[in-house]
Amino acid sequence: MNENLRADGIKLSLEMTLVTIRTSSGGLDPNARFLRLMGENRINLPFLCSAARDDTTVGTYCILTEDVTRANNVITSDKTVMTHIEYLPSVGTISVFPHNFNLAFFGMILRLMGELGAPLHGLATSISALCMVTDFSLLEQIAGYLARYVSLPGNHSPFNPDISIKSI
């Protein structure tokens, strides 16, 4: 077991759809419009990564599967967003915590994902967790593989949460 690979827990998300909006600058920003539409329609985005670099803005968002139909109905009514949007269904997040701002820890997790051939669709650190977006069907397999190399406490919480909170 590598000394850098200690964690308190691994958590898996529910099934989600990954939405990507790529756009060049000028005119209405479809990413801002998308955020407004989701907020107005009370649709949560559990994961978000947005980069406005040079003349290009790329926004990547996760929507819970149970909200996708509702989100679709809203999006298809808006031409600004509709013309820039791409969907990747059936993704999920795997969060490993705490990361302790440790670059070696992050590098090792990336390496393990690569060894497993698991796709990495997105990634973001929170104050405590390293959260990775990958294929939903692979979440359990990835968690099992990481658990072979990451030292977890004996009383760590289950990978799958037994409660979920939804803002209505």
Partner 1 sequence: METIAVYWEENIKTYGIRKETKLCLVQMDILPVCLVEQGQQLAELGQGETKVRLILAHHHEPGLLRLYMVFENRWQGALAEFFSRPDLQEVSGRFLLESPVEMLNFHGPHFGDRYGIADMACDALKKENIRFMLMGCSAASVHFIFPEKMAARAEKALGSVFKAP
* Chain positions contacting partner 1, by CB under 8 A: 4, 20, 22, 32, 35-36, 38-53, 56, 58, 60, 93, 95, 101-115, 119-131, 164-168
Toward partner 1, which CB reaches closer, 24 or 154?
Answer: 24
Torsion of CA 99, 105, 110, 112, to 10 degrees: -110
Q: What is the CA radius of gyration of the chain?
A: 17
Closest approach, Cβ 8 to partner 1, in A, equals 14
Tokens 């308190």, residue?
A: 8
Phi, psi of 152 (to 5 degrees): -110, 150
Toward partner 1, which CB reaches closer, 101 or 144?
Answer: 101
Largest CA distance in the chain: 54
Closest approach, Cβ 126 to partner 1, in A, equals 4
Closest approach, Cβ 119 to partner 1, in A, equals 7
Residues 134 and 131: their CA atoms lie apart, in Å, by 10
Closest approach, Cβ 153 to partner 1, in A, equals 20
Closest approach, Cβ 103 to partner 1, in A, equals 3
Toward partner 1, which CB reaches closer, 81 or 154?
Answer: 81
Whether 103 contacts 33, CB under 8 Å: no
- For the four alpha carbons of 56, 49, 101 and 116, in that order, the dihedral sign comes to negative
Strands (DSSP E) found in 9-84 = 9-12, 16-24, 47-53, 56-64
Toward partner 1, which CB reaches closer, 25 or 76?
Answer: 25
Toward partner 1, which CB reaches closer, 75 or 154?
Answer: 75
